[in-house]
Amino acid sequence: MKNNIVNLRCYSNWTGNYFKYIVWRKTAEPDPISVGNMIYAPDTRYKVAFGPERREFNLVIRAVTQNDAGVYECQVHQTAFLKYVLEVRHSKHEDSGEYVCRNSEILMASKKVIVLN
């Protein structure tokens, strides 16, 4: 499953330097994965893909494993949240695509992403 990539998208309609207030976290963990465009998690498979022209601030997880399953949250300036439930399931079929969920102008929403490994 090491070729699998999950791209969790977060969008903000705010202008200016909004990106420094965006926090990605796995809700089961006490510390954030990222704040702004800085990664704080020790896991090198995490990356923040920042698209200022689209106002997207996406969390990319490479080489997804069963340990990555859980609830991920994108918090925009302490007021708007987007939650993803990432499930990793074993499959006999090879599936090494990119998985994308997208939503915009969210106050609170949940998405479910299932990755087959």
For 72-101, the pLDDT digits (tens) are: 999 887 666 788 888 887 655 555 555 554
pLDDT in tens, 2-53: 468 899 988 777 666 666 678 999 999 999 999 988 899 999 999 999 876 7
Q: Structurally, how many domains does the chain consist of?
A: 1
* C-alpha gyration radius of the chain: 14
* Residue 51's CATH number: 2.60.40.10
pLDDT value of position 27 = 92
Q: Which has more confidence, 112 or 104?
A: 112
Place of tokens 């997208």: 102
Q: Whole-angstrom Cα distance, residue 48 to residue 56?
A: 10
Q: pTM of this prediction?
A: 0.71
| Residue numbers of the domain that contains 36 | 5-116
Helix and strand element counts for the chain (H, E)? 0, 10
- Max Cα separation, the chain? 47
